[in-house]
Copies of this chain bind each other. A is one copy, B any other.
Amino acid sequence: MHKERIRLARLLDKVMPAEAAAELIRDGMTVGMSGFTRAGDCKAVPEALARRAAKEPLRITLMTGASLGNDTDKILAEANVLARRLPFQVDATLRRKINAGEVMFIDQHLSETVEQLRGQQIAPVDVAVVEAVAITETGGIVPTTSVGNSASFAMLAKQVIVEINLNMPAGLEGLHDIYLPTPRPYRQPIPLIAAEQRIGLPYIPLDPAKIAAIVITQKDDSPSNALPPDQETRQIAGHLNDFLLHEVRAGRLAPSLQPLQAGIGTIANAVLHGLVDSPFRDLKMYSEVLQDSTIELLDAGRLSFASASSVTLTSAVYARFLADLERYKSRVILRPQEISNHPEILRRLGLITINTALECDIYGNVNSTHVGGTHMMNGIGGSGDFARNAHISVFVTKSVAKAGAISSIVPMVSHVDHTEHDVDVIVTEHGLADLRGLAPRERAQQIIANCADPLYRDLLGDYVTRATRRGGHTPHLIEEALAWHARFREEGTMGGTGPILAAA
């Protein structure tokens, strides 16, 4: 069966077991692997690397599109194969090693990794490992459920290993649009002006001589583990819908809004899901990942087109997507993450972006990555690419975590990923703060009144009142600004009390 998938016949003799292919990867090398939000990752070569590492020294720098599935980061981390890792991850074992300082993790804007590679500003890729549906007659690689950085990895690497995954339907061919920025100087404008536009090839063009090994696999992507909407995420979706409706009524947005982006994960997925029952029509997505909500919006006729770099679905929705692939293909494009996340395109299109915050502060700065200001959760991912260049940049979060022991609205965030300049709207289950055109002191009033949980509202109000007495464009009690985080570390709670009694 795999012979139909390798349409350049002279490459058939490159087919070999994963162990043999993995031999191309030597200790100290930099490896670029496919995979973005658990989709389209290579399944066999990483496992072979982990097995070999038990027998001989093998430490590599691993670059990917974004997160991997199939426990690959776990297996590689446990086998101590990962010396350096970039630009994103979501694995608990790897996270532990990153936070222990055992794996050097470089947390990057997802649009920038290959730009830095091309500029030789980070170590060059020795070997690229790319999952494919097929190899074309000219040696081109047809990706599977993600494009990620695979095109640039393959084109910049000295050698390429292709994993042909027979579990991936051949019908995925035609879903992808591969375009990469032309060289500097005199780089040309990227000709994309609409989410639905094709500007490239349906495969990764490649000198077939660089294909050093082909491995046949039969293994599915790991399904999405996003949780279904709950009461709070439904409330968040409701507030955002109301806001968008208000913008349409005020004439500031058309009923088709602007192209939508939503970050990976439960809350953003739930917020998008909330649009199913909205009055908006002819919506488009220009995002980095398509989740269950995208398919639901397509099926509901709300969404007319979706562009992204990967498709990451729960098992049931994945089956639905694959069963009706031809129909979805006319309304979905997968692109390199450099294009899905490119500042040039994002600013041109003018997106409404919806990303998840770990915590926000009263002035609108957002922490998306560091628990307690120190411990990496996943990484900034594409949130910075999108928030910076958005038409309206929305951040969503539940107002508290750990049953109220943690407030997601704090006096000062313990780590900043997105500054107040890049945050237009904050939404929690309690409400929405529209920060556009407001000075920091005004932002604080909006955020505390509309977004903070009642458990913490008075404490925040008290903080800002006392801080404001000292003056400043952005008032703070600098010796107290991170005290809530310190208290949580010591006592297991930020100290939410609810309304402060006048008598107290």
B-binding residues in A (CB < 8 A): 84, 98-101, 104-109, 112, 115-116, 119-123, 181, 184-191, 193-194, 250-252, 258, 342-344, 346-350, 365, 370, 372-376, 380, 384, 388-389, 391-392, 414-417, 419-421, 424, 436-439, 441-442, 467-468, 470-476, 478-479, 481-483, 485-486, 489
Q: Is the CB of B472 within 8 A of A374?
A: yes
Q: Which residue of B lies closest to A187 (CB)?
A: B348
Nearest-neighbor residue (CB-CB) of A123 within chain B:
B437
Q: Judging by beta carbons under 8 Å apart, are A485 and B489 in contact?
A: no
Q: What are 28 residue pairs bridging A and B, where the CB atoms are less than 8 Å apart in the complex?
A: A84-B439, A104-B439, A104-B441, A108-B421, A109-B421, A112-B421, A116-B437, A120-B250, A120-B251, A121-B436, A122-B436, A185-B349, A186-B194, A189-B344, A344-B344, A370-B473, A373-B474, A375-B471, A375-B473, A376-B473, A376-B474, A380-B419, A384-B421, A414-B478, A417-B421, A478-B486, A479-B483, A479-B486
**A120-B252 in contact (CB<8A):** yes
Q: What residues of chain B lie closer than 8 Å to A489, measured between beta carbons?
A: 478-479
A467 to chain B: closest residue by CB: B374
Q: How far is the CB of A467 from chain B (nearest CB, A)?
A: 8
Contact of A116 among B115, B186, B348, B436 (CB under 8 A): B436
Question: Using Cβ atoms and an 8 Å threshold, which residues of chain B touch A424?
Answer: 121
**Cβ–Cβ < 8 Å partners of A350 in chain B:** 119, 184, 187
Q: CB-nearest residue of chain B relative to A371? A: B472
Minimum CB–CB distance for A468 against chain B, Å: 7
If A376-B473, A419-B417, A478-B373 touch, whether A342 touches B349 (CB-CB below 8 Å) is no
A253 to chain B, nearest CB (A): 9
Please tell me how many copies of the chain the complex holds. 2
Which chain B residue shows the least CB distance to A437? B122
Beyond A104-B442, A344-B344, A439-B104, is A478–B485 a contact (Cβ under 8 Å)? yes
- Give the CA-CA distance A482 to B468 in the complex, in Å: 18
Q: Are A374 and B470 in contact (CB under 8 A)?
A: yes
In contact, A99 and B421 (Cβ under 8 angstroms)? no
Shortest CB-to-CB span from A252 to chain B, Å, is 5
Q: Which B-chain residue is minimally distant from A95 (CB atoms)? A: B473
* B residues less than 8 Å from A194 (CB atoms): 185-186
- In the complex, the chain B residue whose C-beta lies closest to that of A253 is B119
Quote the shortest CB–CB distance from A306 to chain B (angstroms): 16
Q: Which 10 A-B pairs have the closest CB atoms?
A: A374-B472, A189-B189, A376-B473, A416-B416, A479-B486, A104-B439, A343-B343, A344-B344, A122-B437, A375-B472
Contact status of A105 and B439, CB under 8 A, knowing A188-B193, A189-B190, A485-B478: yes
Are B344 and A347 in touch, CB under 8 angstroms?
A: yes
Chain B residues contacting A476 (CB-CB under 8 Å) are 373-374, 414
Q: Please give, as numbers and ranges, the residues of chain B lying within 8 Å of A181 by CB-CB distance.
A: 348
Contacts of A475 in B (CB 8 A): 374
Contact B374 A474 (CB under 8 A): yes
Are B348 and A189 in contact, with the CB atoms below 8 A?
A: yes
CB proximity of A240 to chain B, nearest CB, Å = 16
A441, A473, A474 — which one has the most chain B CB atoms within 10 A of its CB?
Answer: A473
A429 CB, nearest partner CB in chain B, Å: 25
Residues in B neighbouring A441, C-beta threshold 8 A:
101, 104
Most-contacted residue by chain B among A121, A250, A372, A478 (CB, 10 A):
A478
Bound together, the chains give a CA A251 to CA B119 distance in angstroms of 10
